[in-house]
Structure 1
Amino acid sequence: MYLEVYIDVIFLINFAMDILLLFIVKKIVKCKSTKPRIIFGGVIGAIGACILAVIPDLNGILQFLFSYCLICTGMVYVSYIQNGWKARLKTIAVLYIATFFLGGVLNSLYYYSKLGVFFRDLVNGGLFRNLNKTYFVIAILFGTIAIIVFIHTYYSFRKGNSRLYEAELFYRENKVRAVGLLDTGNGLYDPIYGKPVIITEYSVISKLLSEGQVKLLQTWLDNLEGNSSSIGRMGLSEDLMKDSDGERLNIMMIPYHSVGRKNGILPAFTLDKVILWEEDEQICNEKVLTAVCADRLSKQNEYQLILHKDIM
């Protein structure tokens, strides 16, 4: 007795599943990658599955080492741009968890529903003789729900345990380090273009600006605090856009609501770049709009920025 295996089908199934898993892991760990790298990682995983399929009698220990050490490490190494083995090991661990979670769902569907018949027909080439689209739709539906639940659960755990990020802000030739708080309640957006807005303390921003720009920004803050009628009506005069040397600081107004202040306004301008760190991982965003707050954001000075979920 022999088992007829269609390598092309095994390759395509594993390639699709590996691509899906790699995109999920990328979303969770927030690491840099590109679509070609993800595709190449999926190819490595699919080739590994094909090798195991044609060598079914491979020793169990060797099979484990090949699958969970060599192949997984290769997929992570190729798919993601990371520095240091600590970050890579963390990514490999997340890939294991995502694989086991999705595999458990598919395994349950395989043994406790007629979906198992569907997959057996798919592998042995009899799918198109006994095709039932209902099972195919059910498989996609349950798999999608499982992935959404997994991502939501992971993010809830992550947000509850790690909300502070080391941050570096860049403007022109200057840069400054600070600590940012990821606040899911920060719903500030640019009212014109809809860009997310972070909030930074004046004490941090002032280190990025020239002396003239600092005075200019302070003028805006003083006028807004005093409810100046010209700025209150969003008037952007040239005198309030240039410092004494004629250097522009393109400030715009961001309306906000807070406890004790129904209608407030913060001055904002665009930073060249913001880099965030969590352990060995980094998130880089360019052209980030930051509003400037004259007061301290944290009474204990634990953080100096309030981050926005849409830049994470």
Structure 2
Amino acid sequence: MHYELYIDSLFFLNFIMNLFLLFLVDRSTLRMASPGRMAAGAAVGAACALLPFLLEGKAIVKLAAGAALGAAGMLCITFRVRSLRMFLKLLERLAICSFGMGGGILFLIRLFPGLREALASVPGILGMGALFLLLFARLRDEPYGEGPCRALLRRNGRELAVEALIDSGNSLFEPISGKPVCVVGRAVFDSLWEGFREGFRAVPYHSIGKRRGILPAYLLTELRLETGGMEYLFTDVYVAVSDEEISGADSAGAESVKMIINPRLFAERKRGGRGKRQNERRYDTESHDTGKDAIQDNPQG
């Protein structure tokens, strides 16, 4: 039996399906990749899918090599992989999405035998892929969970790595911008800010034994969190300073916890940002003068 293979159609089909898969993986990692990197990764994966047809050797070996190179190339180009553990986590999610989408497409082809020829065509496969993309994109995924994590704080060329805790009990937010607020102890704050107080905000809080109070908060340039084998980057994060010792759950090693992470950081990144509040400042940086009048501008303070 003779088959004709059109390289351009095969490349286009694999490129679009790879884009679908990378979009789902990126969504499960809170949108870590840019569209350009996803397109580049999808192109590399599509090119590797052509290798079995261009090389000589046993078919099973060529297919395995093409799949392995394609998956590794897609993930390493699309995401900034910084460790073997992170790569394996991404590979796991890519495999789940691939088997889910591939199994769904085969199920539809078997379910409608009269439409097999149309469904097995390039437009049919892409249409089914888009259908499952919309379906899977609606599934709820909370990859960060709660518990201990590793935090790297950076500000003005200085950086500090500390043990942190993602805690749903931290619901603090900066009242002017509505941004979620994390909490650090005085020692961590002094080692990074060294007495500078630019970008001050007043954050109201409620706690057991004290009906209400105010915590000073400042803008942190960059915060990197490592949890569940994944690494997440957040910029311009408000950090409140507590004069009391930071404590967490006993299972997290309360004595070593130096920072409490607000889980809303992940939720807002997953949504791709947040809508601006009516009273939000346009320029929310350390160098802006509006931070000096934060208390006066906040009627709740």
TM-score normalised over the length of structure 2:
0.70
In structure 2, do the counterparts of structure 1 residues 12 and 263 end up closer, same or farther at CA, with 3 Å as the change threshold? farther
Counterpart CA distance in 2 for 1:119 and 1:202 is: 62
Letter in 2 for 1:301: E
Tell me the SS of whatever aligns to 1:39. helix
- How big is the alpha-carbon RMSD for the aligned residues of Structure 1 and Structure 2? 3.5
1:119 aligns with 2:109: no
Counterpart CA distance in 1 for 2:109 and 2:211 is: 56
1:145 aligns with 2:135: yes
**Where does structure 2 lack aligned partners over 5 or more consecutive residues?**
249-253, 267-301
Aligned to 1:287: 236
Alignment of 1:170-249 (within 5 A): 170-172=154-156, 174-210=158-194, 213=195, 248-249=197-198
Tell me the SS of whatever aligns to 2:176. coil
Letter in 2 for 1:188: L
May I ask how many residue pairs the two structures share in their alignment?
259
Aligned to 1:166: 150
Q: Aligned to 2:214, which of 265, 285, 288?
A: 265
Counterpart CA distance in 1 for 2:26 and 2:14 is: 18
Q: 1:272 touches 1:286 (CA, 8 Å); kept in 2?
A: yes
1:276 aligns with 2:225: yes
Aligned to 2:95: 96
In structure 2, do the counterparts of structure 1 residues 180 and 208 end up closer, same or farther at CA, with 3 Å as the change threshold? same
Aligned to 2:45: 45
After superposition, the C-alpha distances for 1:195-249 in whole angstroms (9 at most, x for unaligned) are 2211112232133343xx3xxxxxxxxxxxxxxxxxxxxxxxxxxxxxxxxx654
Counterpart CA distance in 2 for 1:83 and 1:142 is: 30
Q: How far apart are 1:167 and its partner, in Å? A: 1.5
Q: How far apart are 1:6 and its partner, in Å? A: 4.6
Q: 1:166 touches 1:177 (CA, 8 Å); kept in 2?
A: yes
State, as a whole percentage, how many aligned pairs show the same letter.
26
Aligned to 2:204: 255
After superposition, the C-alpha distances for 1:42-77 in whole angstroms (9 at most, x for unaligned) are 11222333455x57x974422442233222122223
Counterpart CA distance in 1 for 2:37 and 2:77 is: 6
**Where does structure 1 lack aligned partners over 5 or more consecutive residues?**
128-134, 214-246
After superposition, the C-alpha distances for 1:55-106 in whole angstroms (9 at most, x for unaligned) are 7x97442244223322212222332222344443443333222211222222
